[in-house]
Amino acid sequence: MANQKKSSKTNSSAKFTFWMIGLVAVCILAFIFLGHHSKPQEQTTSPSVKINYSNEPFLGKESAPVSIIEFGDYKCPLCKNFNATVKPEIQKELIDTGKAKLYFMNDSFIYKDSKRAALFAESVYQELGNDTFWKFHDLLYQKQNPNDEKKDVFTEEYLTNTLKEIASPADVDKVVNNFKANKSYDAWKKDMDYVDKLGVTGTPTLFVNGKEFTGKTMDDLKNMVDQAAKGK
């Protein structure tokens, strides 16, 4: 996968390749799971890290035997594309079938409002629960303008107005108060600690039961999930 170092155009063929994104009309960046929106290479991979999935937003059945993590940044154009085109395939092939559940963890590194958006989303999760979190998460990516990657767009006002599109005024107030009180910081910091421990170098990046996915197709991911279910 190419990730934003520190991308996905759905292909309906059997060899569906993750993370193809058209950045310009003539130039298409093929970003499979090894390339991403980069950041400085400071971490070292620790495959033995035990992950605490509690209080993390997820899609799927709690009883699903395999846990997939997507590390993402709300400013990452490749994550936007992943959310729109790859996540539905994961939903269909792995989540709806009960084979796996998909967690989202923050890797906020692209711009200064990356962290603000992540903290606000964590406040949504804490106050309004898992379902509303995913609605907000999807909406935030839908509204993202890739041209604004290095602009401070995700202001508190912007995030609040986005939440107003899917939540009642009373619920919006709960989230804003949580955010202002910095109650979501510890949850965000937990994600960022895993970024360091696991050596995540770009977004989007997937981990399957604690091991980084480095394949290139949906079949590769399905095979890795099957192996993880067998304890391999």
The values of phi and psi at residue 129, to 5°, are 90, 180
d(CA 232, CA 183): 38
CA distances from 155 to 124, 158, 161, 178, 181 (A): 15, 5, 10, 16, 16
Average confidence (pLDDT) over 206-220: 95
Structure tokens at 54: 């509690």
Binned at pLDDT 50, 70 and 90, residue 38 comes out as: low
| Mean pLDDT in residue range 38-56 | 69
Q: In whole angstroms, give the CA distance from residue 67 to residue 59.
A: 10
Answer whether CATH 3.30.420.40 is correct for domain 3-43+60-229.
Answer: no
Give the pLDDT band (50/70/90) at residue 20.
very low
Domain boundaries, the chain: 3-43+60-229
Instruction: State how far the Cα of 196 lies from the Cα of 60, in Å rounded to an integer.
Output: 26
pLDDT, tens only, 142-188: 999 999 999 999 999 999 999 999 999 999 999 999 999 999 999 99
Question: Which pLDDT score is estimated for 27?
Answer: 27
Tens-digit pLDDT profile for residues 61-85: 999 999 999 999 999 999 999 999 9
Answer yes or no: pTM beyond 0.75.
yes
